Structure 1
């Protein structure tokens, strides 16, 4: 009688992971204590973005603050060419994951600042869903510079964005919701807000400058109420002869790593670093900053005696024009002693 033997290949082996999924992907997850990036499924599984756009978006989200993410730098990092990378960035701009803004530094140099949104839908809902505090006084709406961004166009739910289409980036609200609080140690001049503030050119310019600080550094994001309370302090800088570039440089130079209360931090800088007003020059009268001096009368019109009969202004009669003096040097009459010679 034959002995039945079991085949080792049919026996279940130890340490073999059983999975109820018959096909598809199986995740092998490990705990990562550091060097990882949180990416939402709204980006990783986006139906309207190409694989290149999703990959570049994940790479941008994993980079530290201040890293270069321009087309040239990304083309040096990835094997894709500049055309595909530019197309992918336009896709991300249309979906709100990337925003590129042209800004002018205090030195006058123009740069392109890139903002990467980890969850653009949540950011947009937070900014649009949080109204201004009801305790704020009734003041006219802030008149700020128009934002460089506009609403994103409606795109199909599936399929990538054509590369020959240049989409428009998402709109950023004029005023970010109030995320900081100023302590009770503010001065009376700051807390006292008039019911009907004067809307002059300096005031509107100061509010626009304060509202735009978040474009230079997101740590200086202010609410609408804080912008209105700090605007008189910026107006004092303008009245002392400082320009907008000088004010921005003073507020954004050598920022600390963490700014817990942007409004209080900016208020202290505006009060402590305010330069004195320039003294009036000696002899300044009520008519203007400089004394008025009568201008000498212009020379009379004469006719050139060199032969061309050209009319020109000269301090004495019988003078030659410039062309005649250049054609026959040494023959032109000399100006009288009490009259300056022609140039």
Structure 2
């Protein structure tokens, strides 16, 4: 809140707030307009305060947005001259930001401000730019911060995002993507959302997705089967009938082929032995 006598002043003869009041504005201006529209009377509306009150835009971006909102007919900055109190000298000024959720033209603003504020002169408020520390937000905080761009009725302050961050993060921990989380929060809204923070807290609880089923860790096999024939080890399903694929090659399980191969090997070895015997016998006869 601003000091007494300063801050936001609602312009007279406004229409009731409705969904879509600011859809004609660019996303940044619509987001900030929705935030300002919900501020109470006499709330501070300088760029520094508004930059701290929401998570998306810094002071320079807020200044630019306020200028655009003024051009669009939603805002006028004025100062009112206050007569000096008894014993005081000089001129005192009180600064107000007049706000209208309904866009107005210059003539309307001139009449409204003159009638409400008396002797006023439009004047830009110069604030000292203060560099804030840059801290990268979490993915959940970022989703919450951008909701106001998708749906102005859900524009949140920085404090709101911080308060809801843990619950939103649990959605992401349960396998929801940032886009899915954002869609779940903005879909099916009522015509008016009076408290975005309270509404989203309830929705985050009521629509919380189930926890992801964690598959049991794969256990290392405790027992392996060996092929009855060649003794190659393998899982039971890989050795039907107790034989590996190679040993099951023929209709007889491969035994005929293995018998033929073994017979050929024995015959070859026998021939080598016979030749060796003949060689030895010949050598003895020569001696």
TM-score under structure 2 length normalisation: 0.35
Select the structure with the greater relative contact order (CA < 8 A; seq sep ≥ 6): 2
TM-score under structure 1 length normalisation: 0.30
